[in-house]
Every structure is written in C-alpha cells, then in structure tokens.
Structure 1
C-alpha cells in the first residue's frame, strides 16, 4: 500500500516504524530537514522536506497514486487542510490528527464535511484507556472488543500469588474458573507466549485473559487482586489528557483533583471542569501531595509533560499508598527498563494512536473473509490481539475448530455471537457474523484466513 505521512513528530515516527515493518511503501513529509533525515537514515522510507499543505509537495510525494494520507503535524488546521488538498489531488483515504477539545466536539461534522476517513485524537484516546483502568483497577490494562462487550484484561502476577508455579493444565480445576481463557503471557519484557497446557506461571508474568466482567471480578478475588472501582483520583499535570480524563471520571461520579503548575491553564480547567478541584502548584511538592491526602487516594495518574517526573511520582505514590497508579510515558526507547519498575499501569499515547491507525490500514484490504474491527499490540509488537468480523463466505466458518489447521503461536480467544461471549472449545465453530478475537505471536495478519497453515 502506498502511504504518505505528513509530520515527523513523536506520533509520525511511531507510525513510520510500525507501518514500514508491514511492508508498505511510505513517504514522509516534514518542513524540518533534521526530522526527515533522522527517519530516512534508520527506516526504509522516502523523505521529502517541505510543507505538507503544498500541492506541489504532495504531488512530489505521489499523492495521485497514494492509497492513504495520514496528517499528524502539530497543527490541527494544517492537518485538516492537508487532507482536503490530498482528496482534491488524488483518490486516497485520509486520516487527520485533531487535538483541540473544541474541534473534538465537532469531529463528526468535520469528518463528514472534509471527507475524512478517520479522525484520531491521541490525548482523548489515551484518556479513555486510563479511564477504563480506573473503572477496573485489578487490571493494569483493559482492551475492549465487540464494541465494549468483551474485555481483554492484563494483570501482573505477584510473588505470593496462588498462580505461581501452577501449570495451565490445572488452572481451571484449581481455581474453578471455567469461563476464563488465558490468552498471552509476557515474561521479562522479552517474549510473549501463547501458552499450552504445560506452561507454568511465574511471579512478574504479565497475563492477559478474556472474560466477562463478573467472571473476571470473581477470578481476581480468588487470586487476591480484587479492587473496587476508584472513588477519587488525583491527577498530576493539567494537559489535554488530564482534561479529557477528568471529564470522563467526573461523568462517572469519581471525585477528581488536578494539580497543575501553570496559573493560566488552571483558570482554563476551572472554567471547563467546574465539578473538579483544580490546584495551582507543583505536583512534585511532597507537602502539597500530603495536604491532598495522597496516602488515602484511590487513584493517581502521573500525566505531566516530563517522563522523569511521572516515573518518580508514581514510584513515590506506590510507596506510600495503595492507590491505583497510571503513568504516562512519551518516550518508548527504554520500555524494557520502564516495565520493570513499579509504575502501575503504563500509558504510551503515541503507541495507542499508532494501534488505531494500523487497525484502519489493515481493514483497507477489503477481505472477502473478514474485516479487522480492533487491534492491540503487546510488548512492543511481539504479539497482537485482533478482532475480526466474519463474512458469509469466510474460509474458516462452519468448521469445528479442532478440524482447522491453525498456525503455531495462534489462539482463538473468544467468539461473540448474538450478545453471548463464547470461550471456544474444539467442538465450536465460527459462524458468519461472529466477532472473533485472535491472538498471534511472531507474525501479523490482516485477514482471519491467515491463521490457517498454508
């Protein structure tokens, strides 16, 4: 697929790295020569120094034959204009990054009037991910499928967990949880395992399970990880993610306090979020945190602009309280080190954004078998969990799963049919219209038939 990416900032670079690994032909455009050179020197892409709004620049990038243009510059207006010119110049699909809360309120109108295929708001998307974790704090990450009806829950095994040393073959009999399916195990931030019956759980493993909410609550209670939904939250930093998160939490009835050092930003937040408590101060001030009873907080989100501050704040809060902590990290170069720290749930906004766009790119294949409905990457892309909506003539339909020749390192996690969640057995069949969750490790797919051996 021919893809043009306008903007070589954090999100643009993450997109280039992810999409280039999937064998797309990519051209990047940015007005900063050093940004373009940094990408073309490390990734096999073509770079153009110029203004992405310029028709001449877009023509040079091959807009007339492009399949997709993604505008992720720092300016919402530039992204919108770039997409409009691209639509006029060629016949490609367009995706724009829109961050302004005012525009976000009008995104449906903008998408329709500007002919956009997709609008992505990284800050809103990250805030939604954090809100899900605060709603279900037993998990360190919550991914949703089937329009929110099915959840993939990730949790970390503690050193005293009853799971330590337990073989997967004895999992259901020991814990009496037949409606829980173990999908993947991330171990030592180096590998993601799709386990078989001989697999043995160990401390510090990151386990992902598929379950209905009530079954998951019962399971977490049995392994000593039961936590109630947070009742109050302190947010360090008053940026866009904090704004969207506070808005969501307040709507859910969760008392929310934001600590922001910039006076002007505090005034904006006070006007826009009248039900929130806005404090003008330094979130790294221990006395201020103590005055706000951080020791008794149910939830804490470190969302300042500095990764170092966020990491230190979460480590400090985890040391003095039992709060559910969320840590925002922008840089992804040291994930193997960061994942070893006690930071609670870690949010990488640019990675979340890239996942949404990659899902759309794969769905453009217009397969006869299935559509990609959702996609989540695990451990820097070492594994993926995807949702497919099966079509009438899909090659995998109406065949018992035990008779399908499924590739190694592949697991059919869940089938959602007629408002029912099915944890599949060998006798179950996938049917047209089903939403099916698939976990893969070591390879990428864009069509469900690709889970079958050649």
Structure 2
C-alpha cells in the first residue's frame, strides 16, 4: 500500500517504523526538518518537509495515488483539514487523530460529512483501557476480541497460585478450564507455548478466554475477580475526565486530585458526582488524608512520567489498590517494566495499535479482515482477530492438518457468539472470528497463518 503519514511525533514515527517493516511504501510529512531527520535515518521512507494540508506538499508525497493518509499532527483541526484535502486529491482512506473532547459527540457527523474513514481519540481510548482493567483488577492488561466475548488477560504468576513447575497440559487437565495460555514472558524471553511448557513463579502469563471462563479460572487459583468500588485519580487532564465519566457510570466512587485550582473548577463542573480535590497529588500527607490506604484503585495520570512512576510505586507499597500508571515515553520501558507499577499504560501504543488495525483491515485479499490487533508480550508478538468472510484453503480443514507457521497459535474461535478454545480436530468455518497469537509479523489475511 502507498501510505502517507502527516506528523512526525511519537505516534507518527512509531507508525512509520511499523508500516515500513511491513513493506508498505511510506511517505512522512512534517513541517520540522529536525523531526524528519531524527525519525528518518533508519527508515526506508520518503521524507517531505512542509504543511500537510498544502495541496502541493500532499501531491509531492503522492496523495493522488495514495491508498491511505494518516494525520497525527499536534492539531486536531490540521489533522481534519489534511484528511479533507487528501480525500479530494485521490480516492484514499483517511485516518485523523482528534483529541479535543469538544468534538467527541460530533465524530460520526464529521466522518460522514468530511469523508474521513477513521477518527481516533487517544485519551478516550486510553481511558477505556484503564476502565476495563478496573472491572477485572487482577489482570495487568486486558485486550478484548469479538466485541468483548473473548479477552486476552495478562497476570503475574505468584507462589500462592500453586502453579509453579506445572505444565500447561497439567493445568488444563486438572481444572478443566476452557482457557488457553497464549504467551509467557520470562525475563527477556518470550514464549508462545505448547502444552508441554512448564510455568514458573514470576512469569507474566497471557491467557485467552471468555470473561466467564477467565473469571472461573482466576477464582480457582485465588485471584480476585470483582471490579473495584472506588478509585483515586491523580492528575485532572483529559484522560481523567473520560475515565471518571466511565467509572461513575460503573457506579464507582471517584476522587480526583489536581494541583491547578482553575482546572479543579472545570472538573467540578464537568463531573458533579466525583470528588475533586485541589492539591499536590505527590504529597504523602494529602494522599493519606484522602484515604489512600483504603483505595481499591489508584491511577497516576499526571503530565510527568517521573511523577506517575513514583506515585505508582508509592501506591503499590502503601495500599492494596489496583494501581495503573500512565507512561508516555517508552525509551526506558525495559526498566519501567521491572518496577512495581501495577498496570502500565502507554497511550502511544494504544493509538498506534488502533491505526495499524485499521490499516491491516483495509488490505484484506482473500475474504478475511483483520478486525482487531494488539502488540503483546512486550511488543515481541501480535494478537490478531480475523473474520473469515469467504472460503479459503484454511476453511474446513482440521487444525492438526494445517501447516501452521512456527511460533503461531490459533487461540480461540468465536462461532455465532459461542467461544471455542480449539483443539486439533476443530476446523475454521466461514463466518468465524479467529484469534491468532504469533511472533510472525505482517499477517494480513487468515491464509498468512500457513507455511508457504
């Protein structure tokens, strides 16, 4: 595909890296020559300096023949304008990042009237991810598939679970749980395991299951499965507003601590059912005054990664709360992953995954779409959901007879709303949605699971 990326920030550069690795023809547009130079040294991509809403600049980038234009500059209005101009220059799909909550209720109207294929709000997507975690606090990360009927849940193996030294086959035979262990992270190593794989305490385990079956499994090993009843949020930015609204709808009690008095007044107007506290969220005294010890959830959402990391570590040590820590910069993620920070949330990854998911879905070739895509296992693997729309060489063949690629697992099948954890004698059928976990990159169609 010919793809133009307008905006060379964190998300734009991450997208350019992923899409060039997938052998797309990529052009990057940014007004800053320095940003282009920083991101372009290691990428096989055309670099165009200029304003992405300019007809001449877009023509130089190849907009007339482009398949997809992605606008992720720092300005919502510029992103919308870039997509509008690009749409009029050719027949491309367009994706715009739009952050301002003012536009939130108008997204569908904007898509229709401006002809924009996809609009993503990173703050709302991040808030939705955090809210999902607070519904199921034992999981470190939850990725939904099949419209929520299937979930990929990550948790850390602890001695009290009594699973150390047990193979995956033993666990399944003993509990008869309808789950699938899809991935294991052990230090720097990442595994997509078979039935003989032996778990160890400290492993980060990712399992696929329906919410009901996951809940039954977690209960059997002694993990809490009920959603939290109250939440303390430090930082009153846009993510906090979206998150608080979601939590209040879930009947949770919400306390937001924000340092700016002016911002507190706005929060109080927008969120009348939440408790808004004007103060320094990094003050130990204030956190204890607001009953940190009894908080069931603690979310660090300030604008500074360093503050969020310290707050997450402090909350982990001083409370039994489910801790969620937002980190924007990912250059040191190998270090932050080792710290006790609860669930780490990277807005950049969330936004990038959603856009890559859309990109893959636009290029289906044999009748199966990539409906959902997540980077998992420390971004060393992907979990993809395919919808099988037409007959192909994988349909009607028992899984044990398919020549699947190495390090690839057919994780689950959603057939007419019924979730199946597949065995060797199961077949894929037209109409199924199928979750595949793999360290192989660039899968675009269900037939890509086969060894050529």
User: TM-score category by the smaller chain?
Assistant: over 0.9
For normalisation by structure 2, the TM-score amounts to: 0.98
- Aligned ranges 1:35-434 → 2 under 5 Å: 35-174=35-174, 176-188=175-187, 190-434=188-432
1:392-451 Cα offsets, whole Å, 9 max, x none, are 212211111111111111111111011111111111111100011111114331111111
SS at match of 2:148: coil
Contact (CA 8 Å) 1:250, 1:276: kept in 2 or not?
yes
Maintained 8 Å contact 1:177/1:219: no
Whether the 8 Å contact between 1:382 and 1:442 is mirrored in structure 2 is no
Q: 1 CA distance for matches of 2:377 and 2:451?
A: 25
Matched residue pairs, number? Answer: 452
> Partner of 1:195: helix, strand, or coil?
coil
Whole-Å Cα distance in 1 between the matches of residues 355 and 166 of structure 2? 38
Q: Is the 8 A contact 1:7 1:28 kept in 2?
A: yes
Deviation, structure 1 residue 68: 0.8
The CA distance in 2 between the partners of 1:300 and 1:234, in whole Å, is: 5
How far apart, CA to CA, are the structure 2 residues paired with 1:184 and 1:449? Answer: 22
Post-superposition offset of 1:355: 0.5
C-alpha deviation, 1:162, in angstroms: 1.0
User: 1:380 deviation in Å?
Assistant: 4.3
CA contact (8 A) 2:364 2:370 kept: no
Aligned residues of 1:359 and 1:374 also touching (Cα < 8 A): yes
Q: 2 CA distance for matches of 1:446 and 1:106?
A: 31
Q: Which moved more, 1:195-204 or 1:336-345?
A: 195-204
Query: Gapped runs of 5+ residues in structure 1?
Result: none
Contact 1:4-1:66 within 8 A present in 2 as well? yes
Superposition deviation, residue 121 in structure 1: 0.7
SS in 1 for 2:166: coil
Residue 227 of structure 1 deviates from its aligned partner by 4.1
Does the aligned pair in 2 maintain the 1:141–1:153 contact within 8 Å? Answer: yes
C-alpha distance in 2 between matches for 1:392 and 1:96? 31
CA deviations 1:138-166 (Å, max 9, x no partner) are 11111111111111111111244311111
Distance 1:177 1:162 in 2: 16
User: What is the alpha-carbon distance in structure 2 between the residues aligned to residue 202 and residue 444 of structure 1?
Assistant: 31
SS in 2 for 1:147: helix
- Please tell me the root mean square deviation across aligned C-alpha atoms, in Å: 1.2
Deviation at 1:214, TM superposition (A): 2.3
> How far apart, CA to CA, are the structure 2 residues paired with 1:161 and 1:336?
26
Q: Structure 2 unaligned segments of length 5 or more: list them.
A: none
Which SS does the other structure have where 1:27 is aligned?
strand
**Given that residues 229 and 296 in structure 2 are in contact (C-alpha distance below 8 angstroms), is that contact kept between their aligned partners in structure 1?**
yes
Runs (4 or more) in structure 1 with deviation over 6 Å come to none
Residues 428, 227 of structure 1: alpha-carbon distance in 2 compared, 3 angstrom cutoff: closer
Structure 1 length-normalised TM = 0.97
Partner Cα separation in structure 2 for residue 247 and residue 390 of structure 1: 36
Residue 437 (1) aligns with residue 435 (2): yes
Tell me if the contact between 1:18 and 1:354 (Cα under 8 Å) persists in the aligned partners: no
d(CA) in 2 for partners of 1:300 and 1:331?
A: 20
Deviations along 1:256-284, one digit per CA (max 9) or x if unpaired, are: 11111112221111111111111111110
